[in-house]
Amino acid sequence: MKLEIKELLKFPGSEEVFEFNENWDYLETGQGIVKFASSVSFSGKVTNIGNSVLAKGDVTTRVTLKCNRCLKLFEHDVAVDYLEEFCTPDEEENEDCIAYDGEVIDFRPSVAENLILVLPMKWLCNVECHGICSQCGQDLNEIRCDCREEKVDPRMQALQKFFEEKE
């Protein structure tokens, strides 16, 4: 996902459109490795705005997530409204600006970051997923098992943990 911007840098106000379609293997997120179920498409426009280059576009792809409840894999469409500013390394005081080297912008790291940011907080194959039984491991979406359900109030659990840590 590299774009040469040599020509663009010559004239403030000039624009250039771009389009990428790449196959990526995976993303490393705080919730684990996420594999791609389709290629990553990124199309948009770069604009020379004087001291920096503005990149605006759309990223779309499909990833494979593991359900937090039943642990099954499912596919999830991801779309990002991408908007980033790029500037030369000596402009780095500007914190909102991504530094680029030479006359090439490498979009990959920022596109990956943007994709991670739009992943859901909870990964659920279905909002109504029943998950698996914590005792026998049965997938409760298929059949219900006979285990006695011990519902622990999460607030009580937190309190219990608090006291355990204090001891």
Q: In the stretch 39-78, what mask flags binding to Zn ion with x, by CB under 5 A?
A: ----------------------------x-xx--------
Q: Does 119 bind Zn ion (CB under 5 A)?
A: no
| Buried-state track 89-122, b at ≥16 Cβ within 10 A, e below 16 | eeeeeeeebbebeeeebebeebbbebbbeebeee
Q: In the stretch 1-40, what mask flags binding to Zn ion with x, by CB under 5 A?
A: ----------------------------------------
- Residue 47: exposure state from Cβ atoms within 10 A (0-12, 13-18, ≥19): middle
Q: Which one, 47 or 138, has the nearer CB to Zn ion?
A: 138
CA distance 41 to 113: 15
Short-list 68, 66, 65, 70, CA closest to 142: 70
Helix (H/G/I), strand (E/B), else coil: 112: helix
Q: Which one, 148 or 155, has the nearer CB to Zn ion?
A: 148
Instruction: Please report how close the Cβ of residue 37 comes to Zn ion at its closest, in angstroms.
Output: 17
Q: Which one, 90 or 146, has the nearer CB to Zn ion?
A: 146
Q: Which one, 148 or 166, has the nearer CB to Zn ion?
A: 148
Among 54, 97, 119, 133, which residue interacts with Zn ion (rule: CB under 5 A)?
133
The length of the chain is 167
Contact 114, 59 (CB under 8 A): yes
**Contact positions toward Zn ion, by CB under 5 A?**
67, 69-70, 125, 129, 133, 135-136, 138, 145, 147
